[in-house]
Amino acid sequence: MKKNVRIFLCVCLLTLLLTECLVALIETTTLVSYQNWFTSGEMFAWITANRFETSDIVDYCFRYVWPYWLVCSMIYFAIGVLVWWLMVIKDTRPARYTAIGIIVTLAVPFVLPDVTNSLAHEIACMVHQIRNIEKHKNDNTAFRYYAIRQQHGADKEIYVMSIGESVRYKNFSLNDKYDRETTPLLRQRTDLVSYSDYYANATLTQHALPMLLTGAPTNDFEKHFDRKTIAAAFSEAGFKTALVSHRAQLMNNGYHDYLAKNFDIVAFVSHDSLIATTIEHLAVQYSKLFVVTHYLGNHMFYTNRTEDCLVWRPDYNADPKAKSDSIFFNAYDNSLLYTDRLLNNEIEILKQTHNVAAWLFVSDHGEYISSKVSGHGHTYNPTKDEYHVPLMVWYSDEYKNAYPQKVANVIKHKDEPVCADHVFWSVLDMADIQIDSTLQQDGMSIFGKQLKCKGRALLLPNGKTIMNL
pLDDT over 90, % of the chain = 51
Name which of 16-20, 106-110, 135-139, 283-287 the model is least confident about.
Answer: 135-139
Q: Looking at the domain assignment, is residue 49 inside a domain?
A: yes
Peptide bond into 301 cis (omega under 30): yes
What average pLDDT score do residues 127-155 get? 77
Q: Are residues 349 and 415 in the same domain?
A: yes
Greater confidence, 355 or 132? 355
pLDDT at 250: 57
Greater confidence, 126 or 25? 25
Whether the per-residue pLDDT at 163 is higher than 80: the answer is: yes
Q: Are residues 89 and 107 in the same domain?
A: yes
Q: Looking at the domain assignment, is residue 55 inside a domain?
A: yes
Q: Are residues 380 and 271 in the same domain?
A: yes
Q: Are residues 224 and 316 in the same domain?
A: yes
Q: Which of 89, 105, 132 is the last residue of a domain?
A: 132
For the ranges 8-22, 289-303, 343-357, 367-381, the maximum mean pLDDT occurs at: 343-357
Name which of 86-100, 106-120, 250-264 the model is least confident about.
Answer: 106-120
Q: Are residues 160 and 34 in the same domain?
A: no
Q: Mind listing the pLDDT tens digit for each residue in 15-63?
A: 888 988 888 888 888 778 777 777 776 677 666 666 677 777 787 788 8
Instruction: Report in angstroms the alpha-carbon separations of 128 from 123, 133, 136, 198, 463.
Output: 9, 9, 12, 31, 11
pLDDT at 253: 47
pLDDT at 288: 95
- Side chain identity, residue 144: R
Greater confidence, 382 or 194? 194
Q: How many CB atoms lie within 10 A of CB 292?
A: 27
What average pLDDT score do residues 135-149 get? 80
Residue 131 confidence class, pLDDT cut points 50, 70, 90 = confident
Q: Are residues 434 and 333 in the same domain?
A: yes
Q: What DSSP element (H or E) covers 279?
A: helix 273-285
Q: Looking at the domain assignment, is residue 124 inside a domain?
A: yes
Work out the burial of residue 92: count CB atoms within 10 Å of its CB; fewer than 13 is exposed, 13-18 middle, 19 or more buried: exposed
Q: Mind listing the pLDDT tens digit for each residue in 246-273?
A: 877 654 545 566 788 889 999 989 899 9
Name which of 40-54, 99-113, 174-188, 424-438 the model is least confident about.
Answer: 40-54
What is the spatial distance between Cα 360 and Cα 26, in angstroms, rounded to a whole number?
A: 39
When the pLDDT of each residue in the chain is averaged and rounded to a whole number, the result is 87
N-term to C-term CA, the chain: 61
Q: Are residues 192 and 103 in the same domain?
A: no
C-alpha closest to that of 389 among 425, 361, 416, 427: 361
Whether the per-residue pLDDT at 200 is higher than 50: the answer is: yes
pLDDT at 137: 60
Q: Are residues 89 and 58 in the same domain?
A: yes
CB neighbour list of residue 286: distance below 8 Å, 6 or more residues apart: 240
Q: Which residues make beta-bridge pairs with 392?
A: 194, 361
Q: Are residues 149 and 126 in the same domain?
A: no
Q: Looking at the domain assignment, is residue 239 inside a domain?
A: yes
Instruction: Say how many domains are in the chain.
Output: 2
pLDDT at 454: 79
Q: Mind listing the pLDDT tens digit for each residue in 389-434?
A: 999 999 999 999 999 999 999 999 999 999 999 999 999 999 999 9
What average pLDDT score do residues 378-387 get? 84
CATH of the domain at 449: 3.40.720.10
DSSP 90-116: I--HHHHHHHHHHHHHHHGGGTSTTST
Q: Does residue 309 contact residue 338 with C-beta atoms inside 8 Å? A: yes
pLDDT at 160: 98
- The boundaries of the domain holding residue 445 are 142-468
Q: How many residues are given for the chain?
A: 469
pLDDT at 247: 78
Q: How many CB atoms lie within 10 A of CB 253?
A: 12
Q: Looking at the domain assignment, is residue 137 inside a domain?
A: no
Q: Are residues 173 and 116 in the same domain?
A: no
pLDDT at 90: 84
pLDDT at 251: 47
pLDDT at 49: 66
Q: Looking at the domain assignment, is residue 205 inside a domain?
A: yes
Could you tell me where the beta strands, DSSP code E, fall in 49-98? none
Residue 379 confidence class, pLDDT cut points 50, 70, 90 = confident
pLDDT at 323: 78
pLDDT at 260: 84
Dihedral sign, CA of 179, 183, 188, 189? negative
Q: Looking at the domain assignment, is residue 222 inside a domain?
A: yes
pTM over 0.85: yes
Q: Are residues 311 and 406 in the same domain?
A: yes
Q: Which of 132, 163, 194 is the last residue of a domain?
A: 132
Q: Are residues 150 and 119 in the same domain?
A: no
Q: Which of 132, 163, 179 is the last residue of a domain?
A: 132
pLDDT at 1: 58
Q: Looking at the domain assignment, is residue 146 inside a domain?
A: yes
